[in-house]
Chains A and B, each alone.
Chain A
Amino acid sequence: MDMMVSSPTPPKSYLVDPPGLRSWLLTRDHKRIGLMFLAVISASLALGATFALLIRTELTFPGPTIVSTGHIYNRLFTLHGTIMIFLFIIPSMPASLGNFVLPLMLGAKDVAFPRLNLASLYLYVGGLIFFLLVLVLGGVDTGWTFYAPYSTSTAAPVVLAVVGVFILGFSSIFTGINFLVTIHTMRPPGMGWFRMPLFLWALYGTAIIQVLATPILAITLLLLAVERTVGIGIFDPALGGDPILFQHFFWFYSHPAVYIMILPAMGIVTEVICVFSRKHIFGYKFIAYSSLAIALIGFLVWGHHMFVSGQSPLVGMIFSALTFAVAIPSAIKVFNWLATMYKGSIGLAPPMCFSLMFIALFGIGGLTGLFLGSLVTNVHVHDTAFVVAHFHYTMAGGALMGFLAGLYYWWPKMTGRMYNLAQGQISAVLIFVGFNFTYFPQFIVGSRGMPRRYFDYTRLLDTHPEFTFYQILSTAGGFLFVGGLVMVAFVLLRSLFVGRKAPANPWGAATLEWQCSSPPPHENPPAPANVGDCYVFDDFCFDESAQGYVKVP
């Protein structure tokens, strides 16, 4: 594929063709929609991170530090949770990076339903506006879980927040439908299911969950809104409803949802590890099937959030066993990544740094999940900072690191600019150190009895005077962590102004999106007639003149 080298006038990039703001706002081009998603999602991340820092600052010292009452603190962690989950992590990888990459990886011209794709973006913006309204009105204080009956009785604007999440759910469903249909019907001839890049398998598994789980959240929140406004008596025990039913409904979505968050990250890590180890993926089919296994078993474990809700011990045991079962496909992936790296020629560019961090942090997050999945230890650490630490090791240490790995990986393709690799590596180190300082102390204090959602831990100091030390460590780590994220933004945005032009294939990857120019032209190049193995790197050589990899025949 030497078309961009030899063609006399290379086609204009999708960034400027067609020109004008209007063409961006009404675009149906998946690349532009992906890039716009990236922009709004990053803004949401910044907002969520701000609330995270406020939470951490409050917890640094015992007693009220920056907020005066628990009511304000409740709003802080609720906004942090809802914004990070519904506005950032869920759409982060599928809607931004996935949208950009999926058709290119398939050699398709676009996703199957481009208008639906644009609708998905505007629904997201609509949901974001609802959240901003909630913010202006003082925020909600229910926690991101909206548990009834508190959510049906609190004075906070719960209905607005719930409608916002409902709209975001549609955005997520539309993305899922688009990906499923595109992968099913638009693979080029010659690309069978087992010729697909594994990122697409991950997005496929993600889309299954998006499509099957999100409607349950939608009906749950709709009923919650109706319960709150009219009082039909479905969740509110005072009206004859059952609040435990709400918990079942909520977790029937929200547990699979964590796999919406982690599966695409796993897909990104899979791609990055192969490319930066210069080695064929180890155990392709195992990784592909484990994505599906996670998507399916993920639907059967929701009850492990409710071990202390009074559900029967038998049900608890079954959910516990299934929870252990879902760890198996995740472990399969980790072992396959390690086997891929074994005797590979490993390069530590920023995408690889973040992928390695993913393995380390997700490993800790996954293994501490087993403590929480065991019935007895769960009771001990239930509702403590241990859960917070576990969750953040998997979601921030897993999903966020995967997102950053993907962002650094595809940034040259999306923008056509190379960033400074050394600066990218420094940001990785900052984030890794900051992250562990933030969350590891929370495992310690959590296992010793520090409850989550407490803004004042003065009364615990009688028995645990060491808590203050750990909380200070955690807050310092939090600022370092966010500093690292700011540095990522700096490194990437700086590249837009001073970065050198990106070659078509800076990393020597073999998937199709790297075989067209960076940034790609408005019209995606068609898939080659003969789609080869996307994990064979032997025929890519570094070309000094292009400062990137080219395919040698």
Chain B
Amino acid sequence: MTESHIPNMQEGNDGGPDAHLAHHFSSPAQQYDAARLGMWIFLMTEILFFGGLFCAYAVYRANNPQIFVDGHRFLDKPLGAANTVLLIFSSLTMALAVRAVQLGRRRWLVGLLAITILCGLAFLGVKAIEYKHKWDHRMVPGQARIAYWFSRGETSEPLKKFQPDEAYVKERLAQAGFEDLDQAEYDQRVKHLGTYMGIYFSLTGLHALHVVAGIVAISWILVGAVRDRFGSNYFTPVDLGGLYWHLVDMIWIYLFPLLYLIH
């Protein structure tokens, strides 16, 4: 954090008491520092939160590399790439939004925040298409149990096993050069595929929840921006929202190659 980022924060611009200064801080600069440090620590907890899943990924991939190579064939690389571009672009607009508020350009701020939110929503839309695709081909671990719940017990007992759509799996494997698998070979290949899909859904699902949280936070900031609550002398929420959004973006940048681009 450089001093140039906090140009007008020593005192309220009109020299009077700062309306945004909470009673327990002695100066706006102290308040700003505290808020940023708090946010960074919170982001650290988020990284550790995802760290558990990344760790699970590392352990299972080290133990069963073939499962992961097989598993990634069922993910849609173009859609994943599109989502990556969307998020990186939204990070750029978010960073520009922070810049805009620091320079006091309110209309730019509103526009850039709106673009960021739209990118986030588009990301979720693409993700929903991917999830739907997986669901249709029964590539969702525990799908039998979920379906059993939704049917209120009308279908048969929930299966514990991961049973993907066999024709679909065979077709995908054939595309990868594994043609004419006999039943034993097929069973062997899909035996632990559920673990890969479990980690895929946990990681991307948790990430999607964070995208939703980010969209909610930025929408709240957008409302504030429309009501002209932020300016060059007070922009802490925009700054913190930006930090959070960059983290969400960064996690995806790790997820994309780890899940989609395995060799």
Taking CB atoms, residues of chain B closer than 8 Å to A229 are 145
Task: Kindly identify which residue among B33, B50, B59, B161 contacts A185, using a CB–CB cutoff of 8 Å.
Answer: B33
A212 touches B44 (CB 8 A): yes
Distance of A216 Cα from B51 Cα, bound (Å):
8
User: Which positions 183-239 of chain B face chain A at CB distance < 8 Å?
Assistant: 191-192, 194-195, 197-199, 201-202, 206
A185 touches B56 (CB 8 A): no
User: Which positions 104-128 of chain A face chain B at CB distance < 8 Å?
Assistant: 108-114, 116
Q: Tell me whether A232 and B145 are in contact in the complex, defined as CB-CB below 8 angstroms, given that A108-B24, A215-B48, A240-B195 are known contacts.
A: no
Q: Is B263 located at the chain interface by the 8 A CB criterion?
A: no
A240 touches B46 (CB 8 A): no
Taking CB atoms, residues of chain A closer than 8 Å to B37 are 180-181, 184-185
B201 touches A242 (CB 8 A): no
Shortest CB distance B93–A (Å): 28
Taking CB atoms, residues of chain B closer than 8 Å to A185 are 30, 33-34, 37
- Residues of A in contact, count (CB < 8 Å): 43
Q: Is B23 located at the chain interface by the 8 A CB criterion?
A: yes
Shortest CB distance B68–A (Å): 13
- Closest A-chain residue to B198, C-beta based? A232
| A 171-183 binary contact with B (CB < 8 Å = 1; else 0) | 0010011101110
Task: Kindly identify which residue among B24, B45, B197, B202 contacts A114, using a CB–CB cutoff of 8 Å.
Answer: B24
B141 touches A110 (CB 8 A): no
Taking CB atoms, residues of chain A closer than 8 Å to B141 are 230-233, 239
A230 touches B146 (CB 8 A): yes
User: Which positions 124-160 of chain A face chain B at CB distance < 8 Å?
Assistant: none
Q: Is B52 located at the chain interface by the 8 A CB criterion?
A: yes
| A 223-248 binary contact with B (CB < 8 Å = 1; else 0) | 10010011111100011111001000
B34 touches A181 (CB 8 A): yes
Taking CB atoms, residues of chain B closer than 8 Å to A111 are 24
- Closest B-chain residue to A208, C-beta based? B41
Distance of A220 Cα from B206 Cα, bound (Å):
13
Q: Tell me whether A234 and B38 are in contact in the complex, defined as CB-CB below 8 angstroms, given that A215-B48, A215-B49, A216-B51 are known contacts.
A: no
Q: Is A186 located at the chain interface by the 8 A CB criterion?
A: yes
Q: Is B42 located at the chain interface by the 8 A CB criterion?
A: yes
Q: Is A218 located at the chain interface by the 8 A CB criterion?
A: yes
15 contacts between A and B (CB under 8 A): A109-B23, A110-B23, A112-B38, A177-B42, A182-B34, A184-B37, A186-B24, A186-B30, A211-B44, A212-B45, A216-B48, A219-B53, A234-B198, A240-B194, A245-B56
B interface list, Cβ under 8 A from A: 22-25, 30, 33-34, 37-38, 41-42, 44-46, 48-53, 55-56, 59-60, 141-142, 145-146, 160-162, 191-192, 194-195, 197-199, 201-202, 206
